[in-house]
């Protein structure tokens, strides 16, 4: 391209090795802050997963030790609650 059609000043290079592209890319310092945020977010997700697993394991151990009549009562209550929830969802979506 001819220098007469150049839109940048003559002393500015066409592209520099430190900032390739159109010049709108962020600096490398910005990437570090996003990486830290991603790492802390991933840590939170892992923590929630571990806590959920521990709670479900504790619940299962407690459920296993219950007498049979209490297990049956819990199962019937769960069925009734589940049927109510399904009925509510069907009414909301007019199924």
DSSP string, 3-45: GGG--S-TTS-SS-SSS-SSS-SPPHHHHHHHHHHHHHHHHHH
pLDDT in tens, 29-59: 455 567 788 888 999 999 999 999 999 999 9
Q: Domain check: are 58 and 75 in the same one?
A: no
Q: Domain check: are 81 and 56 in the same one?
A: no
What is the mean pLDDT of the segment spanning 12-27? 56
Write the CA distances from 36 to 32, 46, 59, 76, integer angstroms.
6, 15, 35, 48
Q: Domain check: are 72 and 93 in the same one?
A: yes
Question: Can you give the pTM of this predicted structure?
Answer: 0.47
Residue 58 lies in a domain: yes
Residue 73 lies in a domain: yes
What is the mean pLDDT of the segment spanning 55-75? 95
Residue 25 lies in a domain: no
DSSP string, 34-50: HHHHHHHHHHHHHHHHH
Per the structure, the count of domains in the chain is 2
Q: Domain check: are 34 and 60 in the same one?
A: yes
What range does the domain containing 76 cover?
67-95
Question: In this structure, are residues 39 and 33 in contact, taking their beta carbons and an 8 Å threshold?
Answer: no
């Amino acid at each position: 391209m001819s220098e007469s059609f150049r839109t940048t000043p003559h002393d500015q290079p066409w592209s520099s090795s430190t900032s390739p592209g159109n010049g709108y890319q962020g600096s490398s310092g910005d990437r570090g802050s996003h990486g830290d945020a991603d790492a802390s977010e991933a840590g939170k997700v892992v923590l929630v997963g571990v806590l959920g697993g521990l709670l479900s394991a504790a619940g299962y151990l407690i459920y296993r030790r219950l007498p049979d009549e209490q297990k049956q009562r819990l199962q019937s209550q769960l069925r009734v609650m589940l049927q109510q929830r399904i009925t509510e969802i069907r009414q909301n979506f007019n199924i």
